[in-house]
Amino acid sequence: MIKRILALSGIASLMSGCSDPQAPTAAEQPQANSAGWTHPMTPWGEPDLQGMWPLSHLIGTPFERPVEFGERRLLTDEEFAEAQAKIEARNESFASRAIPAADDGQALHFASLMTDPPNGRFPELTELGKTLQAKMGSSYKPNQTVFDGIADFDHWDRCITRGLPVSMLPRNYNNGVQIIQGPGYVVLSLEMAHEARVIPTDGRPALDSHIKQWLGESRGHWEGNTLVVETTNFNGLTGTTNAGVPGSPRPLHPSTENMRFVERFTRVDDETIEYEMTVIDPEVLTTGSWSAAYPMKLDNSYVSYEYACHEGNTAVRNYIETSRFERAQKAAR
């Protein structure tokens, strides 16, 4: 399985174990919940994170925090009960339709997945960020009605990728994230957009900075039982938000080729990985960075399905043809 994924991915290279001053330190990671719990290890001596870790349980928690919560990330017991009741009502409604329930009926005690800035809301964009945002096309872009070429669509419209960090965030379907390990590698197999993130952990040197990729290029290293992954070499063509992520702001937020993405995976018991992400892109973010965190829950009964979407799909063509027809009709009138 690993050989097949590595062969398909081409296994490019990047930075070896770079730490970031803005990312949480290993000492700040949550500790094991269960008394006497021992972290499982692979046969070659690395912490074992393998398994299926779908993100379905997160879709009841908004990515960006509602304004009324201010800098309070945790819900009260009453707020939690209300959130759970809404999820159960929604699932009950879906159960009577052809579309199955969107998640497993869980609420979290978090008011948002975003943890920094303290108010849990996206930082203001720089002037460059605003310029880039205005140029971003998408079928999800508010008030966009003209579609006349590929530039009017984003990378997800075109079935290329969801990009990072979006690929590591929940959505209403295709939430599977499988972690596979081999000596010197960690592979994240993503159900959405049929992608595999191949992360070397063997200390190999960085890729040349001129080599740019849709998902960037990752390097991982271990800090105790925590897997730290730093990704650079982005092509700057993907957004860092997406309308498919519940609670994401619209319009989309841009990225640059110099964006850095730092992740931390810390397994704290047999069923839980505490996951943290930090996006660092001062060219477009007035605060320089933002962070989010959530628990990943093991569910090896989860089945990933084919994401049968590919670049050149008819949806893009249909958007363009319909848009041109509507504009021609309007001009004729």
Higher pLDDT, 325 or 17: 325
pLDDT in the model for residue 100:
56
Q: How confident is the model at residue 20 (pLDDT cuts 50, 70, 90)?
A: very low
* Digit-coded pLDDT (tens) for 151-170: 888 888 888 999 999 999 99
CA distance 186 to 273: 15
Average pLDDT over residues 30-59: 86
* Digit-coded pLDDT (tens) for 62-113: 999 999 999 999 999 999 998 888 888 877 776 666 655 555 557 889 999 9
pLDDT in the model for residue 52:
98
Q: How confident is the model at residue 28 (pLDDT cuts 50, 70, 90)?
A: very low
pLDDT above 60: residue 3: no
Where are the chain's structural domains?
2-17+46-55+119-332
Which of the residue ranges 82-96, 203-217, 242-256 has the most confident prediction, judged by mean pLDDT?
Answer: 203-217
> Residue 24 has which token pair?
């949480």
Q: Is the peptide bond before 165 cis (omega within 30 degrees of 0)?
A: yes
Average pLDDT over residues 213-218: 96
pLDDT in the model for residue 99:
55
pLDDT above 80: residue 1: no
pLDDT above 70: residue 207: yes
Q: How confident is the model at residue 206 (pLDDT cuts 50, 70, 90)?
A: confident
Average pLDDT over residues 121-132: 97
pLDDT above 70: residue 23: no
CA distance 313 to 275: 34
pTM of the full structure: 0.84
pLDDT above 60: residue 203: yes
Q: In this structure, are residues 102 and 91 in contact, taking their beta carbons and an 8 Å threshold?
A: yes
The alpha carbon of 266 is separated from its chain's Cα centroid by a whole number of angstroms, namely 17
CATH class of 2-17+46-55+119-332: mainly beta
Q: Mean pLDDT of all residues in the chain?
A: 86
Q: How confident is the model at residue 271 (pLDDT cuts 50, 70, 90)?
A: very high
CA distance 25 to 115: 15
